Amino acid sequence: MVILTLNCGSSSAKYQVYDWDNKDILAVGIVERVTQDGSFISHKAKGKEEFVLQHDCPNHTEAVSLIIKILTDPEKGVIHDMSIIKAVGHRVLHGGDRFTKSVIVDDAALKAFNEVKDLGPLHNPANIMGIEAAQKVLPDVPHCAVMDTAWHQTMPPESFLYAVPYEWYEKYSVRRYGFHGTSFLYTAKRAAALLGKDPFNTNVIIAHLGNGSSINAVKNGCSFDTSMGLTPLEGLVMGTRSGDCDPAMPFYVMRKTGMSAAEMETALNKKSGLLGITGEFTDRRDIQAAVLKGGKRSTLAQDMEAYRVKKYIGSYMAALGGQVDALVFTAGVGEFAPFVRKKILEGLQSLGIVYDPAKNELARTRNTESCISSAESKIPIYIIPTDEELVMTEDAYALMSGTYDVHTNFTYSFQSKDYVNKGRAEGLKEDLKKNPELAAIIAEAK
């Protein structure tokens, strides 16, 4: 039995094909530049070379059709009969406060996603288009929605409410929602396994660092507070998003410049963050290269990003009463940028967080969970490569089979200390051949 997962963005459609019976990934890929000129698909099947094909995709229906065509191709594909796909899992950015867990998509769910799409204007419309496109291509299988906001529905009111007129919450659903929930769910469960603890007796702070970044305080295995808010704009310094700033600042600049509300929204979401400070970079590798050449604005941007994360770590330590079992880094930057982690971790000794510089430099792989804390650190520092697709796959299977429930009443395969990702295990063998020293930082479940 095969489960397909889809993550449709405004101009892309990522996918993964998972063999449920053998617990193995058959293929992954992405269609890029959907709705734009020059669209193409990058496809990697197990045991085969990566395949790239130029193909016009004016809409998401065409993109999903292309994915199915490649998956069933006699040479490039991995399945011969579409009937073996038994479920499709879809990532949905924003479910508002209506969903506490993943759901099978029906008319009511689609209606709810449309009703809250103003809360996720850059993502929800594309998510909805992806679902509707996949339903046309695969009409006879259940389609399941996995919301990034569902994980955070355990936050208490003092965490999720803003100090604004209460009727804004009652009438317009103005509150903190948080995002990256699928990633936080996976990494929180894996951190508990590494610690050898009951996940619901575990407190962790997780930094999901990528082009979009957020940080999550997890108390007794549930989301307690998070940095992103009503939209993904609040919180950390990101690739093109400003993160936290004085709410009066946009009004001041609008009065000075004559900018419209729409222009200001674009500036804060697409022209700020690291791009706004450096004037040219969002990729941390480019920023680091500029730092090494003495680039002052790139150095400033790097310092600002790290300082913001550091402040949140300190505040979440306080929010969790100082009872923190682990600090976790995940996502592309969290997993692959030791120079960013170094800036964040320096000076946290007073909080009981002490990193090992040599271990930190070694940790640049998605094929293993690493521990980069020093022997004297009171709090372990883990790097846990995220796996949102696996969460989507397991949710879809459980929804299809009628065994699914909210995560506090549901057990995932990756919660086990004996869990192994076959693809990553094979990749680790190759990593160790190239760099045997990597063995020293592999985190073993207790």
Active site residues: 148
Could you count the other beta carbons within 10 Å of the beta carbon of residue 315?
15
- Pair 98, 114: CB distance under 8 Å: no
Q: CB under 8 Å to 119, separation ≥6 — which residues?
A: 94, 96, 173, 177, 230, 231
Tokens read off for 238: 């990101």
Could you count the other beta carbons within 10 Å of the beta carbon of residue 120?
24
* Separation CA 60–CA 437 (nearest Å): 44
Backbone angles phi, psi at 217, to 5 degrees: -95, 120
Tokens read off for 10: 């405004």
Name the residue with tokens 């936080």.
184
Q: Calculate the alpha carbon distances from 99 to 17, 71, 155, 219, 404 in Å.
A: 26, 32, 13, 20, 14
Tokens read off for 122: 């850059």
Sheet of 326-330, strand order: 222-226, 214-219, 204-208, 326-330, 381-383, 370-371
